[in-house]
Chains A and B, each alone.
Chain A
Amino acid sequence: MMQLNIPDRDYLNSGHVGCPGCGATIAMKLALRVLGEKTVVVIPACCWSIIAGNYPQSALKVPILHTAFATTAAAASGVRAALDMKGDTETTVVGWAGDGGTFDIGFQALSGAVERQEDFIYVCYDNEAYMNTGVQRSSSTPYGTRTTTTPGTEWKKTRKKNIVEALAAHRISYTATASIAFPDDMMRKFKKAMEMKGGPRFIHVFASCPTGWGVASELSIKIARLAVQTNMFPLYEVEDGVKYTLNYKGNRSIDEYLKMQSRFKHLTEEDIQTIQEMVNEDWQLLLRKIGP
């Protein structure tokens, strides 16, 4: 933290209602340390619309606009427009949505706002399913996952949507993945995003969910770290949709990551091998984009 010159001040109050070990809560704490008090957070329906607290309390020391599920990017665009018209170009507007609100129902509004070059940071805290409604599959849920809507032998047989590549295809000025297990890397990315004013910036945060994934809450950081170390969730940045930078090279097998979580406990060795091959394939694809 010293090398990033980030004040050791928190904008997340104790008393929030996140589950023990909630990755999304840790992500907010770290993000706001970087973004500071001149921040407005726009939150759609998601875990964070609960975590932030019921009327009349708020867990954050910055203003929050709660908005309808599909509207994060549109509402954030409107907030930005109002601040600009009032002459306030200093305040950072942050859309803060889950994977359902980003990959699925909010994707159209996000795509539109990025194409319009709206000046905000959009954060997707990704816990890989609709956790707030009780673990239903989203298009971010990875292959092999059991959820309440992909139960039993009907576990999810399709790949996770690659949201960062979808954003890169918009030629967004900055997009990056980040993990709560790599706080320095994550805060550096928030700082970079904050300083790149004038257009949209997108940060895809891997936010482990002990409740939904079936891991002990004290293993939340460990599981997030393993996702990076196995290349299941690579840490990288893309500038202008074309300039790729890799932040970490993993080399562990996927086996260990999957076997720690009850959402994957039904998988056979053969299934695990299939997933390992998918991870390898995606990793090679990413390395090709990063270049020599």
Chain B
Amino acid sequence: MKKVIEGSHAVSEAVRLARVKVLSAYPITPQTHIVESLSEYCADGSMDARFMCVESEHSAMASVIGAASGGVRTFTASSSHGLALMHELLHWASGARLPIVMAEVNRALGPGWNLWMDQTDSLAQRDTGWIQLYCEDGQEVLDTTIQAYRLAEMVNLPVMVVLDAFFLSHTYEPVNVPDQEQVDRFLPSYVPRIQLDTANPCALNQMAPPPVYMEMRHSTQMAMEQVPRLFKQVEDEFFSIFGRAYGPVETVLCEDAEIVMILTGTAASTCRQVISDLRSKGEKVGLLKLKMFRPFPTELIRKILEPIQKVAVVDRNFSFGASGIFAQEIRAALCNYPEHPPVFGYITGLGGRDVTPEILEDIYWRTRNNATPKAESQWVGLDQEIVES
């Protein structure tokens, strides 16, 4: 059934449809609408689940780790400082190989306090062993959240479903909310691989000295390496029931493109229009929308970008002392190809600054008009008066 709902509520609807049993969360803007509606579903009985109102994000992740170890489907949501506070437990969740799903609303970190869109919070968690999937609109958020459970439970790794603060979390759009019966068909009841069981007592997450620790981490990587194949399987099954699929990356007009722009989240939507406008002026430009960040779809990206003349990566995030994080990853994916295109890195949209079509066009022309990048990152849209003050 088509409903006009917020991006946040697309997450909540998906979590309800996934028949999650234990939820735990701590409030932080702009994630609150997700957990408020889930609390209502638990209160009105439309969800048969326990909602835990814990006293911190650290405890939110710790309690879903406890619940997932107890063998039930779990959910939490966070953002920015909350995600940063969870950091230790993000490692714990993936190391324990628990299929926890979390919605993460991208928001800037302070100081100064800033509630708005910025990807540095989730990207700073890239080495924690979580699958990360970035979404562009409300429908993709709902679909990805449902798929995330299927994927997580197949591979025994946690999944972070990432959406833009406000541009997506607080924007109302028509979203096709599927029937429970269809979702049940796609997502069967959770059968844990291992769980706390008094009939079969085991010690979970115990001391792992040097002779075994490396093998444990290697096995996590082996699981990560299964993800591209399993994600395709999940998407194929999802498509056969719901008629929608997204892919780890999506390409728009890349086949004959000379320049490809790489974006994530809602900025990719803006770029679709920019690409179309530039094409109508005869410019050979394409868009690569990056959805899956971990595991990084290296092979796929190499194949797409190999014949391209120039690549422009738009990062709404930054690694201080280095460059935009997506640009780093794209460079790393290409560097072992002797004939790879130059990667132009652009920083824009930090802390909720609008990424307008004009900014994206400016980025296109800067890439078009220079043979090589002037620097690892070019900051676009800075107010020079403030910079020089």
- Contact between A53 and B198, CB atoms less than 8 A apart: no
- Contact between A64 and B66, CB atoms less than 8 A apart: no
Cα–Cα distance between A57 and B203 once the two chains are bound (Å): 8
- Contact between A85 and B50, CB atoms less than 8 A apart: yes
Residue B49 interfacial (CB < 8 Å): yes
Q: Which of B63, B197, B209 is within 8 Å of A75, CB to CB?
A: B63
- Contact between B203 and A60, CB atoms less than 8 A apart: yes
- Bitwise, B29-70 to A at CB < 8 A (1) or not (0) is 000000000000000000011101111101110111111111
Q: Which of A60, A78, A82, A86 is within 8 Å of B201, CB to CB?
A: A60
User: How many of chain B's residues have a CB under 8 angstroms from any CB in A?
Assistant: 43
Q: Which of A37, A60, A71, A86 is within 8 Å of B72, CB to CB?
A: A86
Q: In the complex, which residues of chain A have a beta carbon less than 8 angstroms from the beta carbon of B82?
A: none
- Contact between A82 and B56, CB atoms less than 8 A apart: no
Cα–Cα distance between A63 and B209 once the two chains are bound (Å): 20
* Dominant secondary structure of chain B at its interface with chain A: mixed
Residue A34 interfacial (CB < 8 Å): no
Which residue of chain B has the shortest Cβ distance to A69 in the bound complex? B88
Closest Cβ–Cβ distance, residue A44 to chain B (whole Å): 10
Q: Which of A37, A58, A82, A116 is within 8 Å of B70, CB to CB?
A: A82
- Contact between A82 and B62, CB atoms less than 8 A apart: no
- Contact between A81 and B70, CB atoms less than 8 A apart: yes
Q: In the complex, which residues of chain B have a beta carbon less than 8 angstroms from the beta carbon of A80?
A: 66
- Contact between A79 and B52, CB atoms less than 8 A apart: no
Closest Cβ–Cβ distance, residue B41 to chain A (whole Å): 15
Closest Cβ–Cβ distance, residue A264 to chain B (whole Å): 32
- Contact between B56 and A62, CB atoms less than 8 A apart: no
- Contact between A53 and B206, CB atoms less than 8 A apart: yes
Residue B386 interfacial (CB < 8 Å): no
Cα–Cα distance between A53 and B204 once the two chains are bound (Å): 11
Also in contact, A75 and B203, with CB within 8 A (given A40-B196, A85-B49, A86-B70): no
Q: In the complex, which residues of chain A have a beta carbon less than 8 angstroms from the beta carbon of B167?
A: none
Also in contact, A111 and B63, with CB within 8 A (given A63-B196, A85-B49): no
Q: In the complex, which residues of chain A have a beta carbon less than 8 angstroms from the beta carbon of B202?
A: 58, 63-64
Cα–Cα distance between A180 and B22 once the two chains are bound (Å): 37
Residue B71 interfacial (CB < 8 Å): yes
- Contact between A42 and B66, CB atoms less than 8 A apart: yes
Cα–Cα distance between A70 and B89 once the two chains are bound (Å): 10
Also in contact, A64 and B88, with CB within 8 A (given A77-B66, A79-B70, A81-B52): no
Find residues 52-111 in chain B having any chain A CB closer than 8 Å to their own CB: 52-56, 58-60, 62-72, 74, 88-89, 92
Closest Cβ–Cβ distance, residue A43 to chain B (whole Å): 9
- Contact between B58 and A65, CB atoms less than 8 A apart: no
Q: In the complex, which residues of chain A have a beta carbon less than 8 angstroms from the beta carbon of B169?
A: none
- Contact between B201 and A75, CB atoms less than 8 A apart: no
- Contact between B198 and A109, CB atoms less than 8 A apart: no
Q: In the complex, which residues of chain B have a beta carbon less than 8 angstroms from the beta carbon of A39?
A: 198
- Bitwise, A101-133 to B at CB < 8 A (1) or not (0) is 000000011011101100000000000000000
Could you list 11 examples of A-B contacts with CB < 8 Å? A37-B201, A40-B70, A50-B207, A60-B203, A63-B200, A74-B54, A74-B59, A75-B66, A81-B67, A82-B70, A113-B59
Sample of 10 further A-B pairs with CB below 8 A, known A63-B197, A116-B52: A49-B207, A61-B201, A63-B196, A63-B201, A66-B206, A67-B92, A71-B65, A73-B59, A75-B66, A82-B72
